[in-house]
Chain A
Amino acid sequence: MKGVIFSIKRYSVHDGPGIRVTFFLKGCPLSCLWCHNPEGISPEIIKTDRKDRIGEMEFSEIEDVGHKYSVQDLITIVEKERVFIERSEGGVTFSGGEPSMQLDFLSEALKAIKNIGIHTAVDTCGYTTGENLLKIFPCTDLFLFDLKHMDPQMHLKYTGVSNELILENYRLVAESGKDFMVRIPVIPGYNDDDENIYKLREMIIKINHKNLKKISLLPFHKIGSSKYKRFNMKYSMESIVPPSNERMMELKEFYMKTDIKVKIGG
């Protein structure tokens, strides 16, 4: 069996503890307006123009976005990084897209990586069935759970789906006894209003958070904006200004009122 992966990051230090390899699996059920990996949304392998410069001349080559990998291919890559993973108590993270979109591949890969003694993490948007989550529980050491908005209507408007299923799955993960971290993108004008921030915090506190290792507040950035152009996609966030350091500190303070570790960034 093979999975479709659109990016592999080594020395990945913001997707879970230690030095990690992060595999970005292609395909996502959400289409957040601020998505910084828009090329990861469609599950298919797509073609793009790669442009390189030689002096003043530009060369363009058609290149695939997304490649097929077997589980063994992933193991080979992870073994190359073993020395760093072991020394840093790091591991492997599956991100995306939404990794559970390729459930069979994901669970097989997780199993194989656990088998070679390496810590595993899954970064999920939570939009999947509980059944699917249960299937990957045994071989996942850590969940990175993304939360965006508490209002179902707003969630639908900004991400293309409502949040009921996500919140249900959040509870499932939080109460499973598995370690998990929460990741909240801070998008000015979209989800950074006091009400949403308050509701998110209340929800997190109310549900069992014994195993919640950290809340990461991820300030909005336009890293993906040039990609939208490259992939002929519409980008609606051009005019949004990233949150100021002061605002991020304010939010951090707000979350710090809980007993949970909070960090700006991954």
Chain B
Amino acid sequence: MNERVRKLREQSLNAVETITAERALLITRFYKSDEARELSAPVKRAKAFEYILKNKEICINDGELIVGERGPAPKITPTYPEICLHTTDDLDILNSREKVFFRVSEDVKRVYEEEIIPFWKGKSNRDKIMGLMTPEWLNAYRAGVFTEFQEQRAPGHTVLGYRMFNTGFLELKNEIKGILAGLDFFSDTAAFEKQEELKAMMIACDAIIMYAERHAELLEKMASEEKDGKRCTELRRMAVVCRKVPANRPETIHEMLQHYWFIHLGVVTELNPWDSFNPGRLDQHLYPVYKKEISEGKITLEEVYELLGCFWVKFNNHPSPPKMGVTAQESNTFTDFCLINIGGVRPDGTDAVNEMSYILLEVIKDMRILQPSSMVQISKKSPDLFIHKALDIIKTGFGQPSCFNTDAIVQELLRQGKSLVDARNGGCSGCVETGAFGTECYWLSGYFNLPKVLELTLFNGFDRRTNQQVGLKTGNAKDFFSFEDLIISFRKQLNFLIDIKIRGNNVIEKTFATWLPVPFLSLLVEDCITNGKDYNCGGARYNSTYIQGVGLGSVTDMLTAIRYHVYDQNNYSWNEIVNAIEADFTGFEKIQHDLVYNTPKYGNDDDYADQQAVDVFEIFYDAVNGRPTSRGGVHRINMLPTTSHVYFGSVIGATPDGRKAHMPLSEGISPFQGVDKQGPTSVIKSASKIDHLRTGGTLLNQKFSPQFFEDEDSFKNLTALIRSYFSLDGHHIQFNVVNAETLKEAQKHPERYRDLIVRVAGYSDYFNDLGEDLQNEIIRRTEHEDV
């Protein structure tokens, strides 16, 4: 990276996450104004959007080439009181909490006290949602059966598609004019609503163009005052770019990146959608202009890297907006999950890996920065070289890029009814969530605690922690005469709780459709304009709502332990198991020992254990898949946790897999920490027994020591490992290359790291199985390699 990018990267790394009241103040003033009264919801939202972009401070950082900040400076983060109003106590917590904190000044607190809170109290969408939910929903939510994604943030996970990388907003305006002119007020009963929405979209187009021009003006002003001739020329050139995009179609790499960035800022200013926004298949979008510019000699490779470096820093300048309470626990990170997709297939089905794919991999390696996140889409047509280049970054242990199976993604999307071309243009956003980029509105609605359902099943639907009847009364554990009886009750409980969640989802979707349409985001996702319908009202070509299953490995091990010890081997009675659980195993360590060490476990390619994973998967799938959503979409499942497996564990007592009360659950579809003892191939075999193609994404995490990545042979074997998993329809795998810190932790807490494999010079073994001296030796060597 060159000096310019290095400085910008430094600046981004050093900036401290801080709350600004700017947006909160502007939106409050607009909502209070006369102008805001008596407007339809979409027009009101569009005008609010325009008001913010017109009045917010413009920030241009020293030396940067791509401009635009959501707040007044890098990492200065706005709030969204119309979604979720922070109390002054909330602001104190944000300011003082140890992890993922935001600095809050006294000024911000005062503004909140005097202007923001008095206006929004009881009126934020969060207040609306909580007021609309049934007592059953509130009970289940408090018990930790599920979380609610839309409680503090707007629906997101959206990705920009091919079209908007090649279209300016002036062209969109023309298109909208045409649709408006063609509205049929004689037979279309929705014509009026469409007209309001299209008017709102028009305002949003003008707003984003105006916002870019404000940057151009400032750049020109700065240029006229700039003493450094080189920077002066740069500033003028940047101003020209800002006058051109996003109004017009971008034609150079610089214009492409700036075009996208204004769009990104538009989306994250309009509301605070989950996973911010995402340029998706960036190598595909950039490649044609890159090819043209390079071949015409208009840009050098160094300039391309420089622009990309400047672009990368922009994402890192934008932490996830502040999260509180359960939302903070389920997603406890500054990362805002913009996941750049590299590779995959082209719309005609041919291999999409190109020169730009390799350039982006170099940028990731070089920048080594938390945001944006990145992944490689690997299809059966992708060259091995592409995978090797990815492994070369993965081995450095910073968790990027993760590996995705394009062939599975395409089949998942086709199964959901997407066209072949839309499916091939798709990919994953967030952690692992499949979507048709630029054509789909896919909401994630919340994590669903599968092990909690089992806990409720064992205690007649009663939650011991909150002292509430949360589930159905299906009997107590000892009443289940057979394992099948238990499974039948588990299914009843799960169906009951999923119904509560889906009822809630269908109400919550309507709150967004009614009060919080997103006319700007609607411009970006196809068919919203032609349908004259908002993104939050079902305007997109495809609409899905996901419920994310959590703790598959844990619930599987719990069920297997019961099946094995209570029903098949008769080692323990239900009374013994229940007493042990209720005592959190204190005084029952022998039972706990058997449950942990002498029980078949998921993750070892053992059909006896893995069968329960398949059963739970099918029960969850049956309960959710295909259920209609209130905006005309379909409910589906995926299997990912972010950090919710920790929260979900904290609300569950001791469990029949030998887990102590409140300890974390397994994550994604990975085995519970440390129970997979047969190595990565067995984990992969277990994980591929569920049908990934009927999900919208699964997450598999695999720990490796850096020594597994040491030479060409090991890259070939890892490539074969990935391709094998993908040939079994696995959706995603990420390699957690452990560092010395982890090894030290493993030394202190061997029970948590029983699956950790390390390489010992031509030889490999479980870390736990090594003598202490050797462990120290490996730690030392790893420390050495970490450098």
Is there contact, CB below 8 Å, between A87 and B723? yes
Contact with B along A213-242 (1 / 0, CB 8 A): 000101101110110000000000000001
B304 interface residue (CB < 8 Å to A) = no
Tell me the complex Cα distance, A219–B761, Å. Answer: 7
Describe B's contact surface by its main secondary structure: helix
Nearest Cβ distance between residue B557 and chain A, in whole angstroms? Answer: 16
Assuming A11-B681, A84-B720, A266-B763, is B771 touching A53 (CB within 8 A)?
Answer: no
Looking at chain B, what size class is its interface with the partner chain? 35 or more
Binding site for B on A (CB under 8 A): 9-11, 13-14, 17-19, 36, 52-55, 57, 59, 80-81, 83-84, 87-90, 216, 218-219, 221-223, 225-226, 242, 263-266
| Cβ-neighbour of B724 out of A87, A218, A226, A266 (below 8 A) | A87
Cα separation A118 to B777 with both chains bound (whole Å)? 37
State whether A242 touches B771 (Cβ < 8 A). Answer: no
CA distance A36 to B750 in the complex (A): 22
A10-B762 Cα distance, complex, nearest whole Å: 15
List 5 contacting pairs A-B, 8 Å CB cutoff, sorted by A.
A13-B717, A84-B684, A84-B721, A219-B761, A221-B774
Do A55 and B589 touch (CB < 8 A)?
yes
- Which A residues are CB-close (under 8 A) to B724? 83-84, 87-88
Return A192 CB to nearest CB of chain B, in Å: 14
| A13–B750 CB distance below 8 A | no
**Are A52 and B720 neighbours in the complex by a CB distance under 8 Å?**
no
- CB of A20 to closest CB in B, whole Å: 9
Q: How far is the CA of A54 from the CA of B750 in the complex (A)?
A: 11
Q: B258: shortest Cβ distance to chain A, in Å?
A: 43
Contact of B750 among A53, A263, A266 (CB under 8 A): A53
Assembled-state Cα–Cα distance A219/B486 (Å): 54
**Least Cβ–Cβ distance between A30 and chain B, in angstroms:** 18
B762: which A residues are within 8 A, CB to CB? 14, 216, 218-219, 264-266
B760 at the interface (CB under 8 A from A): yes
Q: Using Cβ atoms and an 8 Å threshold, which residues of chain A touch B770? A: 223, 226
Contact B716 A10 (CB under 8 A): no
- A10→B589 CA distance, assembly (Å): 32
Considering only residues 635-690 of chain B, those with a C-beta below 8 Å from chain A are: 678-682, 684-685
Chain A residues with CB under 8 Å of B592's CB are: 54
Given contact pairs A54-B589, A223-B770, a sample of 4 additional A-B residue pairs in the complex whose CB atoms are under 8 Å apart: A59-B589, A218-B762, A263-B711, A264-B761
* Complex partner residue of A18 from B590, B708, B717, CB under 8 angstroms: B717
Complex interface: chain B residues within 8 A of A266 (CB)? 762-763
With A14-B762, A87-B723, A264-B761: A222-B773 Cβ-Cβ less than 8 Å: yes
Pairwise interchain contact B763-A221, C-beta atoms closer than 8 A: yes
Kindly list the 5 A-B residue pairs having the minimum CB-CB distance in the complex, ordered from nearest.
Answer: A265-B762, A88-B720, A226-B771, A11-B679, A87-B720
Which one of B593, B679, B716 contacts A54 once the chains associate, using CB atoms below 8 Å? B593
With a cutoff of 8 Å between Cβ atoms, the chain B residues found around residue A264 in the complex are 761-762
Q: Which of A53, A54, A242 has the most CB of B within 10 A?
A: A54
B105 touches A (CB below 8 Å): no
Across-interface contacts of A223 in B (CB, < 8 A): 760, 763, 765, 770-771, 774
Indicate if the CB atoms of A18 and B681 lie closer than 8 Å.
no
Give the most central of A14, A36, A84: most B CB within 10 Å: A84
* Chain A residues within an 8 Å CB radius of B573: none
The verdict on B597 contacting chain A, using a C-beta distance below 8 Å, is: yes
Measured CB to CB, the closest approach of chain B to A221, in angstroms, equals: 5
Interface of chain B residues 686 through 741 with chain A (CB within 8 A): 708, 710-711, 713-714, 716-717, 720-721, 723-724, 727-728
Contacting residue for B681 out of A19, A55, A225, CB 8 A: A19
Q: Which residue of B lies closest to A56 (CB)?
A: B589
Most A CB atoms within 10 A — which of B596, B750, B771?
B771
Partner of B774, one of A17, A83, A225: A225
Contacts of A84 in B (CB 8 A): 681, 684, 720-721, 724
Q: How far is the CB of B686 from chain A (nearest CB, A)?
A: 11
* B411 nearest CB across to chain A (Å): 18
Task: A6 to B723: give the CA distance in the assembly, Å.
Answer: 30
When the two chains form their complex, are residues A80 and B760 in contact, meaning their CB atoms are under 8 A apart? no
The reply on B764 being an interface residue by CB < 8 A is yes
CB closest chain-B residue, reference A266: B762
A19 touches B721 (CB 8 A): yes
Q: Collect the chain B residues with CB atoms within 8 Å of residue A17's CB.
A: 713
CB within 8 Å of A: which B108-167 residues? none
A80 touches B720 (CB 8 A): no
Question: In chain A, what residue has the closest Cβ to B723?
Answer: A87
Q: Quick one: which of A11, A36, A53 contacts B680, CB cutoff 8 A? A: A11
**How many residue pairs, one in A and one in B, have C-beta atoms under 8 Å apart?**
109
A257 to chain B, nearest CB (A): 21
Residue of A nearest to B772 (CB): A226
The yes or no answer to B783 lying at the interface (CB within 8 A) is no
Q: How far is the CA of A222 from the CA of B717 in the complex (A)?
A: 26
B761 in contact with A265 (CB, 8 Å): yes
A174 → B minimal CB distance (Å): 22
**Chain A residues whose C-beta falls within 8 Å of the C-beta of B714 in the assembled complex:** 13
Residues of chain A with a CB closer than 8 A to B727's CB:
83, 87
- Give bound CA distance, A17 to B589, whole Å: 45
Q: Which of A19, A54, A219 contacts B717 (CB 8 A)?
A: A19
- Report the Cα distance A54→B680, complex, angstroms: 25
User: Is the pair A80, B771 in contact by a Cβ cutoff of 8 Å?
Assistant: no
Within 8 A of A (CB), among B735-787: 750-751, 760-765, 769-774, 777
Q: Are B596 and A19 in contact (CB under 8 A)?
A: no
Structural contact, B763 and A10, CB atoms closer than 8 A: no
Please give, as numbers and ranges, the residues of chain B lying within 8 Å of A218 by CB-CB distance: 761-763
Contact A9 B771 (CB under 8 A): no
Which of B764, B769, B773 has the largest number of chain A CB atoms within 10 A? B764
C-alpha gap A13/B597 in the complex (Å): 27
Residue of A18, A19, A36, A81 touching B763 (CB-CB under 8 A): A36
Q: How far is the CA of A57 from the CA of B763 in the complex (A)?
A: 31
**Contact B761–A221 (Cβ < 8 Å):** yes
Contacts of A57 in B (CB 8 A): 589, 593
Cβ-defined partner of B773 (8 Å) among A9, A216, A219, A225 = A225
Give Cα A263 to B770, complex, Å.
24
**Known: A87-B727, A225-B773. Contact between A54 and B763, CB under 8 A?**
no
For A13, list chain B residues within 8 Å (CB). Answer: 708, 713-714, 717, 764
Of listed A83, A216, A225, residue having the most chain B CB within 10 A: A83
CA distance A54 to B711 in the complex (A): 38
Is A9 in contact with B728, judged by CB distance below 8 angstroms? no
Contact of B685 among A9, A80, A242 (CB under 8 A): A80
Nearest residue (CB) in B for A265 is B762
Whether a CB of chain A sits under 8 angstroms from the CB of B605 is yes
CB-CB under 8 A from A18, the residues of chain B are 716-717, 720
CA distance A17 to B713 in the complex (A): 8
How far does the Cβ of A10 sit from chain B's closest Cβ, in whole Å?
5
Chain A residue with minimal CB distance to B749?
A53
Contact A222 B597 (CB under 8 A): no
- Among B678, B761, B764, B773, max chain A CB count under 10 A is at B761
Q: Assess the B597–A52 pair: CB atoms within 8 A.
A: yes
Give A82's nearest chain B residue, CB to CB: B724
CB distance from A245 to the nearest CB of B (A): 9
Closest to A248 in B: B761
- Who on chain B is nearest to A83 by CB? B724
B681 lies within 8 A of A10 (CB):
yes
Q: Most chain-B CB neighbours within 10 Å: which of A11, A55, A266?
A: A11
Q: Quick check: B771 and A10 within 8 Å, CB to CB?
A: no
In the assembly, what is the distance between CA of A80 and CA of B597, in Å? 23
Chain B residues with CB under 8 Å of A90's CB are 717, 720
User: Are B764 and A221 interface neighbours, CB within 8 A?
Assistant: no
Q: Are B681 and A52 in contact (CB under 8 A)?
A: no
> Chain B: which residue is nearest A21 at the CB level?
B681
Give the CA-CA distance A31 to B597 in the complex, in Å: 33
In angstroms, Cα B678 to Cα A10, docked, is 7
**Complex Cα gap A75–B724 (Å):** 19
Instruction: List B contacts of A36 (CB < 8 A).
Output: 763
Contacts of A222 in B (CB 8 A): 771, 773-774, 777
A13: shortest Cβ distance to chain B, in Å? Answer: 5
